[in-house]
Structure 1
Amino acid sequence: MAHPILVLCLLAFSCILATAFESSPLQDFCVADTSTNAVHVNGLPCLDSKLTNANNFYFSGLHIAGNTSSSVGSKVSPVAIAQIPGLNTLGISLARIDYAPRGVVPPHTHPRASEILTVLKGKLYVGFVTSIPESRLISKVLQKGDVFVFPIGLPHFQQNVGNGNAASLSALTSQNPGVIIIANAVFGSHPPIAEDVLSKSFQLDKSVVSRLQTQF
């Protein structure tokens, strides 16, 4: 009896594992129908496949450098579902990032995607921080052609440490990876987080917290 019971247990366990992951697509593609107000469940509703064309799977302009005159000195140019409706349900997206000298992409997370970054131009200092209890910084200086991976959900950043402008290309494992810029989320939420909470959490005077909340 022991052997059949073991087999049944293994089968049950494999079924549990199977249901824990996203299933394979049931059709060739699901071009996003942005004209409808239907409820969104893990993506946008599908456009009738007979109405699709090459433009639903196409984007032009990623060779154009972004404007880096922002306060942080960088510009992210996404190529996600909003730019290519055909990415709907496919689980991939891209982003070009341009950096002014000393420009940064502030510490942030992608709640739904891992990211693999390739340096197109310049020199970047990049890194991510592991989860508690280590909270360890893993970082490296990258040159043109170098590649670095940021695991899903972990805070990470990039900074241009070269003499001129820099650029990179990121691929992400989600059609809609999401982004949480940590400083903006903490100090710029609506409504704001109570000053007392932030003051105790960051060991800052309330006047400093108030100023940061105004800034963000």
Structure 2
Amino acid sequence: MASNYYFVTIAILALASTVLLVHASDPSPLQDFCVAVNDAVDGVFVNGKFCKDPKMAKAEDFFFSGFLTPGNTSNPVGSYVTPVNVMQIPGLNTLGISMVRVDYTPYGQNPPHTHPRATEILVVLEGTLYVGFVTSNPENRLFTKVLYPGEAFVFPVGLIHFQFNTGKTNAVAIAALSSQNPGVITIANAVFGSNPKISDDVLTKAFQVDKNVVDYLQAQFWWPNN
């Protein structure tokens, strides 16, 4: 009898592990592709989008031409993110991948942020970037590296990470993310630029600062570069 309980326990743990793995990233597609469309007429709803009839798909559904165009970095943070996800390439729907191009002015940065649905791998094409991420509580360990052209760095899914151009020239990076729609939460924007505002009582206690500091931060314009 004891051995039966043992095998049942192992089976439950195995099933739980499988469920966790299944939900760790975008669902696996059960067809070659599912080009996203806004029109629900005769469409099939898959992974948050309606699918075009596969017979009507064309090469343009899988194409994007804007990665050679630098982004406008004349903003307070000195960077610009050009996304290529399911909104730009409808053919990415159900494929579980997307990309971004990030342009940085000298000393510009992609501020601390997270992608709730994706791991990111970033490759530097031009310039020098100081990059890093912070692990979850209670360790809160910081991993950092200075990257040069041709070097890559991985930011695990959901963890706060950043990039900062330490050079005197512009920098450019390309990143791939393990979701067709990875999402982004820029920390300063979310905490101090929420609409409506988070209560002063909450933020003063959370950050252990005076109310005037919180009011000052909430009065700033937090640039939505992502």
CA shift for structure 1 position 49:
1.2
CA shift for structure 1 position 61:
1.6
Give the residue type in structure 2 aligned to 1:51. M
Give the residue type in structure 2 aligned to 1:30. C
Contact 2:46/2:94, CA 8 A, preserved across alignment: no
Aligned equivalent of 1:210: 215
65, 68, 71: which one aligns with 1:66: 71
CA shift for structure 1 position 29:
0.9
Q: Secondary structure at the match of 1:215?
A: coil
Q: Secondary structure at the match of 2:206?
A: helix
1:160 paired to 2:195: no
CA shift for structure 1 position 51:
1.6
1:95-119 residue CA offsets vs partner (Å, 9 max, x unmatched): 0000000000110000000100000
Q: With structure 1 as the length reference, what TM-score do the two structures score?
A: 0.91
Instruction: Report 1:1-216 matches (<5 A).
Output: 10-20=10-20, 21-22=22-23, 24-36=28-40, 42-216=47-221
CA shift for structure 1 position 52:
1.0
State how far apart, in whole Å, the 1-side matches of 2:3 and 2:191 are.
55
State the identity as a percent.
Answer: 58
Aligned equivalent of 2:224: none
CA shift for structure 1 position 19:
3.4
Deviates more, 1:74-83 or 1:47-56: 47-56
Structure 2's unaligned 5+ residue stretches are: 222-226
Q: With structure 2 as the length reference, what TM-score do the two structures score?
A: 0.87
CA shift for structure 1 position 199:
1.2
State how far apart, in whole Å, the 2-side matches of 1:101 and 1:30 are.
41
Give the residue type in structure 1 aligned to 2:219. T
Structure 1's unaligned 5+ residue stretches are: none
The Cα RMSD (Å) is 2.2
Contact 1:43/1:89, CA 8 A, preserved across alignment: no
1:23-77 residue CA offsets vs partner (Å, 9 max, x unmatched): 6322111111123499977431212112211111111020111111011000000
State how far apart, in whole Å, the 1-side matches of 2:153 and 2:212 are.
39
CA shift for structure 1 position 15:
3.5
Deviates more, 1:5-14 or 1:113-122: 5-14
Q: Secondary structure at the match of 1:45?
A: strand
